[in-house]
Structure formats: structure tokens, C-alpha cells
Structure 1
Amino acid sequence: MRGSFRAFVAVVLLIAFPFLVIGIGVGGILLATTASGRAAAYLFVLGIGVLITFGIALVSALRTRVEPPSGPRLSRQEQPTLWACVDELAEQVQTRAPDEIILIPDVNAAVSEDSRMLGLRAGKRYMMIGLPLLAGMSVDELRSVLAHELGHYSGGHTRLLAITYRGTETLQRTVERLDGGPARFLLNNYAKLYMLVASSANRQQELEADQAMVRTSGQAVAIAALRKLPTLSHTWDAYSSRYLPLAGMARRTPDLLLGYRAFLLHPNQKEWVERAEEQLLDAESSSLFDSHPPIRQRIAVIANQADRPAPGDTRPAWSLLNDPQNSVPAVEGSMLKEGLGPRAQWAEIVRLAGATSAERGAGMLAKAALDSQVAPRGILGDILHAIGRGEVEQLVKPLLKPNIPFEELAGACRSVATELLGDVVVAALVAQGRVRHELNWGGGWVVRLLDDGSEFDAEELVAPAVNDPAKVGELWDQLVRMNVPLGFVRWPSEQDPQIGGEPQLTHAFGTQVTVGRNTWHDLLVYDTGLLLFKLRFRTVLKEQSADRVGAGHGIRRKRLTPLVEASAAANRQLPNARWIGAEDIVGGTNKSFLTGGGKIGLDLADGSRLELRSASDEAYEALVGFVLEVLQSRGVPAQEGAAPVG
């Protein structure tokens, strides 16, 4: 098979690498004997240095322990139906079943094998199943995905991981330890050649593994499963970013799988999936360094294979789990941040988080009223008096960013005041036990009045008065009729986030951005700046190797989690960090790439220019959004396509 041949070429490149390094080292020493003066000394030091560097890298790589995949295990005793399904599929694709099944919090499935003797001796097998797949796919679609992963076993794709892992590790460490110069240049480009060949082999192996999907499930199911992956990835991200933070606010542990399943079944998500599926498939990357072919290419190849339709099973995939309402939450805990609190249903989580959110907003407005001295007591009645005097801008200005353009300041003040004044009203009613926040999988939550069961929109209630001081009296009367206490005040507690001080994180991307030509970085996007973390070369190669067995996401998540949980101030002190504040950016350009991602050019206040290349549309869009907001706040246009594309 072509995939096996390309994998063989990649292995040959790895085996040839030590000979190349030794050749450079010995060649440098031999040339030193024929030269004189500084040239001889340079060549001798170069040759010895390369040999020592390679020796250290080889020893380090051989001593590195290959850790088994992390995550909760689904045992045969606890999940017999799932294991029976995997055993049946393994028999159909003529391979040995995995020894362990591991649940992971990614839209992904993967297999690995801890093989011995450079892949000649079989080792322990692991299968990773993404929790979102269990919630978002049907039984027959999940079977098709698992058959694909088992196809990697039957195709022998995992057997050479022992040599490729050690070889890649040696290559990484050798290149990383070398300083600039001809040796590093040569070996660095050799490493790129290896990754190019290895990626080509991986893409061909994916197409070969797709044949197992068709043999076990038929063309229609295999294609349906592949088409679902991009939309599942986006909806899982939306669910994670929109609802999981509520668990932290409520200090409760949620049901991940069952919540995501309910989220997917809401009409809003169904409608979005129908609209977005084709667009996401069209926008998929097709880089020569990608480990997977574009899904449209995979579908085209599948459509040309002999069809073997199988009886369909349209039940949700989590039907394969034994007692999912109890067994899944028992293993989900290890995927969540520790210390969230007792397990609770999503309805309770939303009720608690909604109340906490309203209280925080009320505390922010009370503190702003005190800091501005517009309403030092911070009570609702005093704040209304200040608004009636036309002092909205003075009231909330302590909460705003200092670089807002003058022409936008009034609108920003009214918007913030409307939101926070609405929070004060809701917090007052929550304190009286007269409203509650109810779960809405289409938009977060709904505030409902318990007196008559109607929905309550506090911002709609207070907006006319915020926009027109003459209407404050009308709002006052409405609040009195609703028995909202005008003496209510809620001061911020020590646990509330600090407003106007610590930058707020908006996006985090692992190994998604290059600075200049070749150096990869992690990227954290804050509301007031960008944090770039330079990655070591061996880290990048290790992740790219792990991507080929589906483990790259876990490695990146493990590295990013401490950065996401730490403050921006703490992250800025790390030795590999570079902070680019909004105030440092004076101009910029952007250029999107047809294959995905794009290029951002930043003109900095010190006269230098920084070029960032993003590897994904998500990172590119986050960067463009941040830079546009910064430049537009100063009236500086960002030019599409102005930067030359190399």
C-alpha cells in the first residue's frame, strides 16, 4: 500500500539521520586537519559539538518514557456493550482489539500501541473515544469511526511508533541544542523534509483506514460520520465556552455528556448545523503538513469504493454505555477542574450561576458609584438619581477601558450602565426570592418572575431611563410597583473578579502561531493584549508526531491548562513569554490564506514590525478581531492584503 511505502520512507529518513549527523561531525573534524588558523578551529569545534549534541540527544530520547494515554478508563466489567461492539468490529477488520478504552474530552477518536523491538513485537493497545462523539453521533456512526481507528491496527500503522517516536525525539533534541549556523540550517531543513514525508504517509494511512469504515458500515454511514466531525467540533467548543463556565460560577460539577446531548438537540443548534456543515467542509485546511486529508477528499475516495451497507442503528451513541446517567458522570470528574463542588443538574447550575452573575454586576456598579463619588452609598435609589442628573458617563467610566475613542464613549457608557443596572434589579429580586434563572440550551438562561411565570428582561426595563434621564421617574415608579427595594445595594466580595485591573482572557490556542518564519508559539488573547509563548523545536515536532496518533490535542491541552488558569500577570513573568499590549500596536495588516489561517502584520510603537502567521481560521479570526478593535479605537485602518505573502 502507498501509505505503508511512504511510512517506510519516513522511517528510512529517521534511520539515515544519525549517519547524516555523524557525517557532519566527522567531516568537520577531517576538514579541520586540512585547514589552518581560525577556520581549522571553527571546523574542529563544529564537528565535535555536533557529535556531542547528537550523543546527548540520543541518550535523552532513549531514556524518555512513553507515557500511556491519560483519561478515565471504561472497563469491560462496567461497559460490556461498548466492549462487545469494539470486539465485533475488531473481528470484522481482522485485528486484535485494544486492551484499554479511554474517554477523552475531545471531538476525536484515536488508537495507539506500545509496541516493542522497533515495532516487531506487539504491545499494549489503547483506544481513545471522545466524549462529544458519544453525545453527537448515532450508534452506527460511532461504529464507523471506531472501525476506522481499528483499521489503523490492521494496517500496521501503529506498530512503528516505537522507532518513529524515539527517532523523532532524537531529531528534535539534536536540532534544538544546536546554535545557529550551517549545521543547524541543514538539520532543521532535514527535519522539515522528514515531517513532510511523514505527513504524506499519515494522510495515505487515513485513506486506507477509511476502507474499514466502508467494510463495516457502508458508504452512507461512513460519509455521514465524517461530515459530522467539523460541526461537532464547533458545537462542542460553543457548549464548552458558553455553559461550562457557569459550573465554575455556581461551584457545581455538571454532567458533561448529557448536557452536550441536550445542547445539540435544541432547535438553534440543529438549524446552525444545517447551515454551517457545507461551509465548514469547504473551509477545511489542505496543507502538505496536515496529518489528515480534507474530509471532502476522504468522502470522494469512499464514494469510489465498493459499498457494503450494514443494518443501521440510529440510536444515540451513548446507548452503547451501561447506565450512562450514572456511569458516565462517575468518570467525567477527572476531565473537569478539581474543586468545582458537588454534582448538580444543569437546571440548578444555571439558577445558581445566573444569581451569581447578577450579584457580580450589581457589585461592579456599586463600586463604580463609590469610586466616581456619583452615588457613594451605592444604593439603587442613589444610582437612579445620578442617572436622572445625566451623570451616566461619570458613573460607569471607572469600568471602561481608557483607550475608547471620544465619539464612542457615550454609547459605551450607556451600554454598560444598562447591563449593570439591569443586574442590580435582578439581584434585588433574587434576594427577595421573586425571580430565578432557568436553563435555556438555545441561549444560556431565561430570567422568570415567579409571581406569574412570565419572562423578565431587566435590561429592556431600564434602558429607556439610561438613554433618557427624563424617563428615570417612570422607571422609579415601575420599580416601586414591583416592590423592588430602592435601598438595595450589593458590594463586591473578595471572590468577585477584579474589574478594570487584570486582563480578561478571551481565547487560547496551542501551537497555532508562528512569529517570523519558523518559530512556533502558543497564543493567549486577552482583552488588553496578546501573550505569545515561544515553543522549543522538539516540543513542536513531538506534538506533530502525537497528532498522527490522535494524542496531540491532549498534549496541547495539558500545556495550556496552567496558562489559562493563571493570571496574565503571572504568565507574563514566564521566561518564554512575550506580552504585546494594545497600547504597543500602532498599525497593522492582515491577509487570509485560501488553505486556512492567515497572516497578521503588527506595527509596534517602538518602530518594529511583527509578523504572525496563524495555522487555523479560529486563531486568525481571533487575532484579526483583537487588532481591528485596537486600531479602530484609534481611528487607524487595518488593511486587508497589504502585507506581502511569502
Structure 2
Amino acid sequence: MGATLRALRALVLLCGFYLLGLVLLAALAALDVASVTWAHGAVTGKIVLVSVVLAIPVVRGMFMLRTPEGDGPVGLAVTEAAEPRLWALVRELAVATGTRAPDTIVLTGDVNAAVSENPRLLGLRPGPRSLYLGVPLLTGLTEAQLRAVLAHEYGHFTGGDTRLSALVVRGRVQIGRTVGHFRAKADGKQAAERARQQQAAAKRTAKGKQAKEVDTAGAGVTYRLMAAIYTAYAKLYLRATLSTARAQEYAADLAAARIAGRDATASALREIPALAAAHDFYLESYATLGVTARQLPPHGQFFGGFGRMLTAREAELTRLREKLPTEPASPYDSHPPIADRVQRIEELPADGRGGQDDGPALALLADPARTLAALEDAVLTDEVRQFERAGEWEQLLGSSMAAGLASLDTPLHRALAFYTKDRPTLPALLTVIDDGQLWQLAQRLPLSEQAAAAKGRAFREFVRPVLRDSLQSMVLAEFSARSLLHWEFSWSRPASLRLPGSASDLDGEAGTEAALAAAVDAALADRPDTAPLRALLPPAPQPA
């Protein structure tokens, strides 16, 4: 099916959205006429009011004729003067692919490359083009692999896919907004009804009466019904408009292999899912490490640290490259499974191109460090940019761990609150244990029915895992509060720590963990002994 026929089919399906709206409006109007004819008084007014309320989002959805501007990925637009090598590569590949180069290049913070076009006449005539290029992708790919990725994206241009996508996206946006409006209204009705019933229940309880169970199943049911109708059409729309999408991806892969070489295309396809998984891990474990302490990595390192982690964890990346996804992300995913795409490319005859290592793609940028810093300013929110900048990654780790431990709130903390007027602390807990009240304290922990029914040794075995985790955390919090913990930062493995006192004489991380685990186990034994834990604690500060 050609681009024009695909666009026409998308246009027909988009018209179906408007037809669905007209049918619903006609049904609501018929309901109003019937109520006026057959019903009387307040019933007629309620029916007309409900139909008007339901008609408003339908009409709004029908008049969303244009996709709002600025809906593309947030990023840093770069000019040809600022990034001449990148633009030269982009233009070179456009000529090789036989298509028009993009008018704009936007660097983003995602592991992704994408092209878009703002066509005219509902996608039947071309318009301005944009290339969105993720800096983490540049960080992890070689220049040869990047050429393959860009050639793949240009394959969508030559096939007219970007013009088709304008219609598809428009339909998705319109249907999605209409469904979202109905669901938001239903949720609002449900929340209001829940609040009303909870308030009534509180009044009955205050009067000594038994409160009724809160039941909001019927709240907002008409809105949910309308949302269900549009959701059903949305599924039909997606399945129909994405029926040729996978063929488009295969064709774009072949274009990439023709332009950039078989080996470069296959290796790029293997690399992208590995980079995506690694980047998710990097964001969670490194880049956003200091959020609880309202700290950011050194300027330019929010994205710049990703390359350092990739270098340190090359062995893990190698394993990820071999574990290619064999199933699409969802039934509506436009991309075929990566494993299938790689197999198709690797079955092509060897062409002797693209297998060489020609350096990192990030080197195409004129000043990578400056660009990474500018990208932070472009994509991070105003609130996040106000965070303090750590001088080094080690400082960021220490601040993050200290903030997390300072706000510690474990089940053991909450149980201990019954034994002390002040904020629960480790010394207070050790006093409770020394007084022989550990297992009475454990009765106040959240317990399963089986644990609550257990007695003696069986009960102790049930509660020990919760006690052990909480007590170990309390020990770390106590040392952190006295600035006695030393955290060791690493790009290749989890952060490790060193404890003061007797543990500092032990050899390495394993010895530190073993000393703490042994002291915690002694405190939680059938006959608790807090002496090993107290030996780890520094002397309490003496008053002046």
C-alpha cells in the first residue's frame, strides 16, 4: 500500500471519530426528545442536564482539528554553525537516502532518534521536518552505528511514513483527549462521592452509630460508559493504522543496511535496547541519586556521567546485547521485535561495510561537555535546576544517603514510638532490648494473620526479617547523623560503606557487612545481646 493510500485510510478512520461523535450527539438528542415527550417535571430536567454535560467533551473532541504546537520532545535545538560536523553527516545521509534533509535538529535526553514532519493538507503534501536525536544515544553508539540509525529514520521519509503519522497522531490525540476528559470527570465524581460518604460516616461514628461502608461504584458511571465507547474505537483505530507500521520498520531497516552497511545496522539494533536499559538504570541509580537531598550532579554530568558508567559496565552491556526482546512491547507497538529485525538484517549478504570501530558518535559534537551542560538547562524543570550542585559524585552519594537515613521511617520506628516520647533512636531501642521488651515491641509491628497467631519461637522467626532490616537501617542512620559513615562511590558496582569503631579494622566491604550483620543478629537472638552493637557505636558526646 502506497503512502497516499495509507494517508487516505488514516483519513477515513479519522472521519470515523467525528462520525462516532455525531452518533453519540444524536443519541443524546433523541434521549432529550424522549424525556420531554414522555417524562415530566424534575426527571426531564435531570436527563437534559446530564445529556448536555456529556455532550460538551464530545463536541470539544470533534473540534480539536489541529495537534498543538510544541508537542515534540523537549530538547536543545542546534544550528549548523554550532554543530557543523553533525549537520554535515545529517545532510550527507539525506542525499544518500534520496530525501530532503530535516530543517531542524533537536538534541534530547532520551535513548531515541525520531523524525517528524508537519505536513499540509492532512498529510498529503510535505512540510517542515525535524530530527530528534538523543544525546545518550550519541554517547553509546559509534559513528557507524549512528549512520545506520539516521539512515533508518530517513527511510521513513522516503516511504512517506512521516506524512501518514500526522494523521495517525492527530487521531490518537483527539481520541485520547476525549477519553481522558470523560475519565477525569468520572474520577472527580467518584472522589466527591467518596468524600461525601466518608464525611457522613464520620458524623455517624461521632454519634456512636455504626458507619455505612463507603461505596462509590455507581458514581460517574455515565462518564465511564462514554469513555469505554471511545476506548473501544481507539483500539480499532490503532490496530488499523498500525497494520502496515511493522512493514515500514522492516523497509527502513533495509534502507539503513543499504546506506550504512549490514554490520553497522545489525549492531545498532542490538545496541539500542541495551542502551535503553542501561540509561534507565543510570537515571535511577546515578543521575537522580541526590533528589532527596535536593542536589544534582556536577554541571554537565547529569547526562555526562552516562558514558562513564557505560565504560565501567561494559561486561554487563555485552550480556544485554545478547538478550534481544523477542516480543513487541504491546499489541499496538508499531515496531517489530528487535530479535526479528536483527535476524533479517544479519541474513543479508555481507557487504564489508559498517563493521569497523570508527569512534564514538558523541565526538561529532563540537564541544560535547558544553552541549551536555546546555542540554541540562534545556530539559530539566525550573524546580530541579534550583537544586544545589554537588562538587563531585562522591559528595552527591554522601548527601543522598544522609538525607535518606535522616528521614528513615521503618515499622520498627513506629513501634518504638510507644516506648519513647522523643523521636525513636537506636540508643532508645537498645535500652528496650536490654530491658527484655524486644518481643513485646515486636507485637506492635504490622503482622500477617499467621504471624499474629504464632507464639514463642515461631513468632520470633516470623518477625525477625522485619526487625533485622529495620535495625540495620537504624544503625546506619545513627552513624550518618554523627557524620561517621564513609560511602565509597563506584561506576561499576553498588556503593559500599565503611563503619567506624571495630568494623574499621576489618578488611574491606565484606568484613564491614559481616560485622554489622553479626551485631544485629546478636541483638535479635532468642536471648538478645546488644553488646556487639554497642561496641560499634561511638561514645555519646559529653555535655560541655
TM-score with structure 1 setting the length: 0.61
C-alpha change, 1:90 and 1:385, in structure 2 (3 Å) is same
**After the TM superposition, which residues 237-636 of structure 1 pair with which residues of structure 2 at under 5 Å, given as runs?**
237-254=280-297, 255-266=301-312, 269-282=313-326, 284-285=327-328, 287-305=330-348, 308-311=351-354, 312-336=356-380, 337-342=384-389, 344-361=391-408, 371-373=417-419, 383-392=429-438, 401=446, 405-406=451-452, 407=459, 408-428=462-482, 430=483, 436-448=486-498, 455=508, 459-469=513-523, 471-477=529-535, 479=537, 484-487=538-541
Distance 1:391 1:293 in 2: 61
Q: Which whole-Å deviations, capped at 9, do the CAs of 1:34-84 have from their partners, x for residues lacking one? A: xxx879x9xxx9xx99xx879834662126533352222233333222222
Q: Residue 13 of structure 1 contacts residue 194 of structure 1 at CA under 8 Å; is this kept in 2?
A: yes
What is aligned with 1:100? Answer: 104
Task: Please give the per-residue CA displacement for 1:113-159, whole angstroms capped at 9, x wherever unaligned.
Answer: 12223234432222112232122222221221122112212222112
**AA aligned opposite 1:316:** P
Aligned to 1:607: none
Aligned letter for 1:60? F
Query: For residue 415 of structure 1, what is the amino acid of its counterpart?
Result: D
CA offsets, 1:358-410, max 9 Å, x none?
5445x979976972436969676555444444544566887x54658344223
Cα 1:285–1:389 shift into 2, 3 Å = farther
**Conserved 8 A contact 1:72-1:332:** no
The CA RMSD over aligned residues, in Å, is 4.5
1:315-348 Cα shifts (integer Å, max 9, x gaps): 2222222222232122123433332222643233
Give the Cα separation in 1 of the matches to 2:96 and 2:446: 61
TM-score (norm 2): 0.71
- Structure 1 residue 98: Cα displacement: 1.8
The structure-2 alpha-carbon separation of the partners of 1:18 and 1:468, relative to structure 1 and needing over 3 Å to count, comes to: closer
Higher strand share: 1
Match of 2:76 among 58, 63, 72: 72
Bigger RCO of structures 1 and 2 (CA < 8 A, at least 6 apart): 2
Change (3 A) 1:478 1:7: same
CA distance in 2, matches of 1:421, 1:181: 50
CA offsets per residue over residues 150-189 of structure 1, 9 Å max, x none? 2212222112444444455555667788968999988765
| SS in structure 2 at match of 1:65 | coil
- The residue that corresponds to 1:119 in the other structure is 123
Letter in 2 for 1:193: L
Letter in 1 for 2:497: V
Q: Is the 8 A contact 1:365 1:421 kept in 2?
A: no
Choose 1 or 2 for highest CA Rg. Answer: 2
Give 2:133's aligned residue. 129
> Corresponding residue for 2:253?
210
Comparing both structures, which one devotes a greater share of its residues to helix?
2
1:197 corresponds in structure 2 to 240
CA contact (8 A) 2:270 2:338 kept: yes
Where structure 2 has 5 or more consecutive residues not aligned to the other structure, the ranges are 183-221, 453-458
Q: What is the rounded CA distance, in whole Å, between the counterparts of 1:475 and 1:170 in structure 2?
A: 62
Cα 1:13–1:318 change in 2 (3 A) is same
Contact 1:366/1:379 (<8 A) preserved? no
Q: Distance in 2 between matches of 1:353 and 1:173?
A: 39
Aligned length: 468
Q: What is the distance in 1 between the residues matched to 2:228 and 2:370? A: 56
Report the CA distance shift for 1:326/1:348 in structure 2 as closer, same or farther (over 3 A).
Answer: farther
CA distance in 2, matches of 1:211, 1:278: 22
Checking the alignment, whether the CA contact within 8 Å between 1:141 and 1:222 is kept in structure 2 is: yes
Between 1:369-378 and 1:141-150, the stretch displaced more is 369-378
Matched, 1:10 2:44: no
Of residues 379-388 and 122-131 in structure 1, the stretch that sits farther from structure 2 once superposed is 379-388
- The one-character-per-residue Cα deviations of 1:439-463 (angstroms, maximum 9, x if unpaired) are 1123442225799996466553333
Work out whether residues 422 and 458 of structure 1, in 8 Å CA contact, stay in contact via their aligned partners in 2. Answer: no
Deviations 1:592-640 (A, max 9, x none): xxxxxxxxxxxxxxxxxxxxxxxxxxxxxxxxxxxxxxxxxxxxxxxxx
Distance 1:308 1:25 in 2: 60
Aligned residues of 2:142 and 2:358 also touching (Cα < 8 A): yes
How much identity, in percent, do the aligned residues show?
32
Q: Which amino acid aligns with 2:519?
A: A
Contact 1:437–1:445, Cα closer than 8 Å, also in 2 = yes
CA contact (8 A) 2:426 2:474 kept: no
Shift in Å at residue 198 of structure 1? 0.8
